[in-house]
Amino acid sequence: MKVHIDEHKCVASGQCVLVAPDVFDQRDEDGVAVLLDDSPTPDKAGQIQEAVVICPGAAIRLDRA
């Protein structure tokens, strides 16, 4: 399982951090989302999928390879 963030689409809302705080954080300088863990364990899948849907910039993608 691999998580991707499109930095150019991120609007720095921090919504992903609210639903998956172990996976996402925000950069100090501009609030753009960063990954704490780009290959999280499968138990995080639910949270990450919620982040994918909730992201107001449609900037998060989850690959389930």
Element (H, E) at 20: none
- Residues with Cβ < 8 Å from 2, sequence gap 6 or more? 38, 39, 62, 63, 65
CB of 37 to other proteins, least distance (A): 19
The partner residues of 34 in beta bridges, in order of sequence, read 25
Q: Which of 13, 22, 35, 44 binds other proteins (CB under 8 A)?
A: 13
CB of 43 to other proteins, least distance (A): 15
Contact between 47 and other proteins per CB under 8 A: no
If one counts every other C-beta atom within 10 angstroms of the C-beta of residue 60, the result is: 25
Given the rule CB under 8 A, which residues bind other proteins? 9, 11-15, 17-18, 26, 28-31, 46, 49-50, 52-58, 61
